[in-house]
């Protein structure tokens, strides 16, 4: 089944294979996966047994996307077709698929044109994400890129201002200017935005914190930023 999924062009997030010597059909599967740029991760047999619904995994399991991925160009074309300045959400290492789904749902509700995630780090468009999105994965373009920092450089060449949500920000959320073409970068709860990605941002903006806890759930932080963009005049 994994080999056929690869041959058919099905969207596959990652393939897990058993550690140790490789033999039989798993060898061409690994080769095809790498040719298509799909991540292949080695794990032990017990982990494969836990992941498999049938227990007959034959040393390999593929995690397939619940929806087809878009491209960054698709997202920009989405904005162009609507006659609107691009409004994009960039997610750096959001590991929890429920957070990813929740952010996709919020982005869709707010009229954003697309979400960009990393190919190598963080959650992907699996079943848990799809459920948390309440079906928004069917409507919101989600692009999966190999290099977030390079993608940000490309967006800036399209005159899109990139703002990182970070506690070190010079401005607070409600003092920042989000008018025009904008991309918002949200990092993971534990690590925030990675150093290289943060360096690529045009601005760093923080959420005002008044209590004893100094961080928010990633999907809550994203919602605050997304709807501040809306409040500032997006239709």
- The model's pLDDT over 143-168, given as tens digits with 9 standing for 90+, comes to 999 999 999 999 999 999 999 999 98
Strands 114-118 and 60-64, bridge-based pairing? unpaired
Rounded-to-integer distance, Cα 108 and Cα 105, Å = 5
Name residue, tokens 């799809």.
130
63-72, 116-125, 217-226 — which one is most confidently predicted on average?
217-226
What DSSP assignment string belongs to 181-228? SEEEEEEBTTTBS-HHHHHH-SEEEE----SS-----HHHHHHHHHHH
Region label for 177, one of left (φ > 0), alpha (ψ between -120 and 50) or beta (otherwise)? beta
Residue written as token pair 């409004």: 87
List the one residue out of 199, 190, 191 whose CA is nearest residue 164.
199
Q: Which residue has the higher pLDDT, 4 or 171?
A: 171
Pull the structure tokens for residue 163: 């703002």
Please state whether the predicted TM-score (pTM) of the whole model is above 0.85: no
């Amino acid at each position: 089944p994994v080999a056929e999924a690869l041959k058919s062009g099905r969207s596959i997030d990652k393939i897990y294979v058993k550690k140790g010597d490789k033999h039989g059909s798993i060898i061409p599967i690994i080769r095809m996966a790498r040719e298509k740029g799909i991540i292949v991760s080695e794990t032990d047999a017990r982990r494969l047994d836990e992941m498999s619904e049938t227990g007959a995994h034959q040393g390999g399991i593929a995690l397939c996307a619940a929806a087809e991925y878009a491209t960054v160009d698709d997202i920009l074309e989405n904005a162009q077709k609507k006659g609107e300045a691009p409004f994009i959400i960039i997610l750096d290492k959001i590991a929890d698929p429920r957070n990813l789904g929740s952010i996709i749902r919020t982005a869709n509700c707010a009229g954003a044109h697309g979400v960009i995630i990393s190919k190598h780090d963080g959650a992907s468009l699996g079943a848990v994400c799809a459920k948390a999105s309440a079906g928004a994965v069917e409507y919101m373009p989600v692009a999966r890129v190999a290099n977030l920092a390079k993608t940000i450089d490309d967006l800036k060449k399209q005159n899109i201002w990139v703002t990182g949500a970070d506690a070190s920000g010079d401005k607070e959320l409600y003092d920042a200017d989000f008018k025009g073409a904008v991309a918002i970068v949200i990092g993971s709860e534990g690590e925030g935005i990675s150093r290289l990605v943060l360096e690529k941002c045009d601005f760093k903006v923080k959420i005002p914190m008044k209590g004893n806890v100094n961080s928010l759930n990633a999907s809550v932080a994203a919602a605050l930023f997304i709807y501040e963009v809306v409040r500032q005049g997006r239709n």
